[in-house]
Structure 1
């Protein structure tokens, strides 16, 4: 079986839908939005381009059709062989769809359409529903990661603004992505990892670098620094931990910055005695910055105690805002199952103790790349219009009597800039205003190729 068979990238029940639409249906239109309170301006649209350049850029072939037919019919569902062969023979295997989308990176309120899709071949009205599963997945996951990381960035930005002299320069390095091992696949690591890179410039998720280069033209989207793990430290033995730390200085001081996990045995002793006494002069003389990583203990108390111990051994100086900044030779990185709540508590307590937020950076893995779901922002894709054979669009909508939150928009949609930000309007009521839902894909052709630089600039304005 081909993992790249787009026909099979859907829900089972979709295969029978081509038999269910009204006769004379020439086209369907559907849109993607997020449900929820419309005053929540926190939805960040991102990631569709990866799907367009990857899955939709690969044509469906006769072999795909035959493979899908055998599987689907054995599965108990009808199969639209004629429809799929029409796509192969009339369109070279490229799906006859037009996809409109907002510019990637924008932040908007819930209830504003992010994507709108319709078929361009009257014989393929059923295709819009068939592509829903893959299309909404391509949007909800990277957009949810981007929105989650944006919330973290705002918290970090606030702490840096209050306590550091150069908050804008420091912010991009405050959150590292450690999520590659905590997700379900290489693809997820790449997609989610690029979403993290909208807001930050450091990552240890290598697939993110690959995906940013492949799909957004970023020659190098993020940096990493040399770092130890427990195996490289404990391999020296408990009585030689100081030698292990010292070897890290020898190997990586020329790089300028490196991280050393320091809790293999006793984090307090490692910081106060090994780093703070035995290796203090060597660290300072090296000219590098050692990022000491406490990887166990209380997630809030431990990093604060490490910073206080480093201050005692290495010293600190007040910045222009009156907050203490550790000697440049040492910093702390905390990444042991940290949550946004933990981070806020650490930052607020450091501030209360008179320490600048720049003394610490954070790392997250599954918290940002794996522990997200479609319901977090309420992503949904719904039909909103049907075109008949006479060329007239008819409104399509639903209004559940028992759950108004699931009511959908009727009619082809547009998005305009209003007094409170982006707003949804009917396309037939655009009245000369600029429609920000612009075609990005038509019949196998990519119409807009956003660079990561452009998307990052847009994300930074939100």
Structure 2
């Protein structure tokens, strides 16, 4: 059963039909990332909200009945929820929402402080509707932030692959950062939104629902979240410490071909790597038609990995690539899934580089830090009104607060908003937000929704291609700056 859209707003929004100044007929608002952890924000996920909640008849008479009853209880009075507002849309538009939404194409990485989306009412009677939808539409911050985080991690990985690996290793970058986050998110919806956002940049994932999500809402033509057979501690500790060798033998024989990932820190990761994988099972590993991926899962990531690699190079040998960095035999690799986040990843790769170890020896797993350890302020998302029409006159709407800094001085706040109807343009390859009348350059925002109809339906392939182009342009710009 479809969720009742009329219940998906902050409670105070239901009072705004009376609070807007008399004569208001137009409210135009915009979404932006006002800064944050990263300099660019990758826009992703709006299409899900449009398809799941807004398109077609967005609500029914039964939904209005339900909302009217509930809101009477919420406010303890009957004059806040105005049923006739929703009856009007139901009767005149058959429940199709009279709003227009424009947005940057999904998969685009846009510098912060730029407009990402605009929304405005198309019926003067529904001026209250624009920002009534803010609560729901603002949630696009989540998939956009995960996509941004994944995008930035991809750029770090690409940097170290370029510095320490031969070109033929580039194809494996798609599988370097793996999504281990399903169990750590707050809902199945989060797993779909966040998991698919990661798949915009990588293809390694244990979040199966993310691949289904990409197919359902973005018409993905293939499965993008791919994984491999892998053990967990319940398997590795089943026979106790004395039976660890027997378990290692069993898991190798269970999957004698292809990639097999094996968590190996149940008792002593260094003993397991040196005595078991590097001695007892060395020949079997080197004769496998595939790759054994050894997984440490505790301890300081940098120090643990460096010691693990020292042991592996001693036991299995190595080659030196064209850039002078050591590579393990193709039959053996390492995956680090503990303590992985946006801060530890560059530290790990820099430490490997400093020891002459090529980045391609390692893959990563990222769980809660990828899908859950983010919030709306990670990229400082905000949706604000910038234009209105009141009593037939256009109004440039803007907030410009002052705030007190640590020294007790009044300064302009970063929360100062933009004014007017906005467009996003590219000038000499640089994105800029300007007023509609200020530039003749084409608007990069596309109309994606109008009067209940989705007017632009992005495929997952298009989004991934756009993300790849964004990364390529960023890399090119970095080379120019260097």
Q: What's the TM-score bracket when you normalise by the shorter of the two chains?
A: over 0.9
| More divergent stretch after superposition (119-128 vs 56-65) | 56-65
Structure 1 position 246, deviation (Å): 2.0
- The answer to whether the Cα contact below 8 Å between 2:149 and 2:342 also exists between their aligned partners in 1 is no
Is 2:278–2:312's contact at 8 Å kept on the other side of the alignment? yes
Structure 1 partner of 2:81: 79
Residue 168 of structure 1: how far off its partner (Å) = 2.8
Cα deviation for residue 36 of structure 1 reads: 3.3
Of 429, 434, 438, the residue aligned with 1:425 is: 434
Aligned partner (choices 351, 354, 364) of residue 353 of structure 2: 351
3-state SS of paired residue (2:115): coil
Q: TM-score, normalised by structure 2?
A: 0.91
Residue 252 of structure 1 is matched in structure 2 by 255
Deviation readout 1:20-59 (Å, 9 max, x if unpaired): 122222221000012139x974111111111111121362
Which runs of 5 or more residues in structure 2 are unaligned? 404-411, 471-482
CA distance in 1, matches of 2:107, 2:41: 10
Q: Are 1:108 and 1:421, in contact at CA under 8 Å, matched by a contact in 2?
A: no
Deviations 1:289-331 (A, max 9, x none): 0010001122211122112211111111111111110011110
Q: How many equivalent residue pairs?
A: 456
* Alpha-carbon shift at residue 201 of structure 1 (Å): 0.9
Under a length normalisation based on structure 1, what TM-score does the superposition of the two structures give?
A: 0.95
How far apart, in 1, do the equivalents of 2:381 and 2:11 lie?
20
SS at match of 1:253: coil
Name the counterpart of 1:413: 422
Residue in structure 2 matched with residue 453 of structure 1 by the alignment: 461
Specify the alignment match of 2:63 in structure 1: 64
* Deviation at residue 361 of structure 1 after TM alignment: 0.8
Of residues 430, 433, 442, the one that matches 1:434 is: 442
Matched, 1:394 2:402: no
Structure 2 CA distance, aligned partners of 1:92 and 1:320? 66
Structure 1 counterpart SS, 2:449: strand
Give distance in 1, aligned partners of 2:402 and 2:297. Answer: 52
Match of 1:236 in 2: 239
Residue 291 (structure 1) aligned with residue 293 (structure 2): yes
Corresponding residue of 2:224:
221
* Residue correspondence of structure 1 range 31-430 to structure 2 within 5 A: 31-36=30-35, 41-57=39-55, 59-76=58-75, 78-137=80-139, 139-166=140-167, 167-218=169-220, 219-254=222-257, 256-388=258-390, 390=392, 392-402=393-403, 403-419=412-428, 421-430=430-439
Q: Which runs of no fewer than 5 residues in structure 1 stay unpaired?
A: none
Instruction: Please say if residues 45 and 105 of structure 1, whose CA atoms lie closer than 8 Å, have aligned partners that are also in contact.
Output: yes
Q: Secondary structure at the match of 1:441?
A: strand
- Alpha-carbon displacement from aligned partner over 1:231-277 (angstroms, at most 9, x marks no partner): 112123322222222222222233x1010001111111111111111
Deviations 1:142-195 (A, max 9, x none): 111111122211211111111100253122111000000111001001101111
CA distance in structure 2 between the partners assigned to 1:87 and 1:342 by the alignment: 51
Task: Report the alpha carbon displacement of residue 135 of structure 1 after superposing the two structures with TM.
Answer: 0.4
Mapped contact 2:101–2:120 kept (Cα < 8 A): yes
CA contact (8 A) 1:149 1:196 kept: yes
> How do residues 19-38 of structure 1 correspond to structure 2 at under 5 angstroms?
19-36=18-35
| Offset of residue 449 of structure 1 | 1.0
Q: Is 1:249–1:286's contact at 8 Å kept on the other side of the alignment?
A: no
Structure 1 residue matching 2:205: 3-state secondary structure: coil
Which segment is superposed worse, 165-174 or 179-188? 165-174
What's the C-alpha RMSD, in Å, of the aligned pairs?
1.8
CA distance in 2, matches of 1:197, 1:174: 12
1:12 correspondence with 2:21:
no
Distance 1:386 1:334 in 2: 52
- Higher mean alpha-carbon deviation, 183-192 vs 86-95, is at 86-95
* 1:300 match: secondary structure: helix
The separation in 2 between residues aligned to 1:70 and 1:437, in whole angstroms, is 39
Point out the more displaced range, 147-156 or 194-203: 147-156
For 2:206 and 2:432, locate their aligned partners in 1 and report how far apart those are by CA, in whole Å. 37
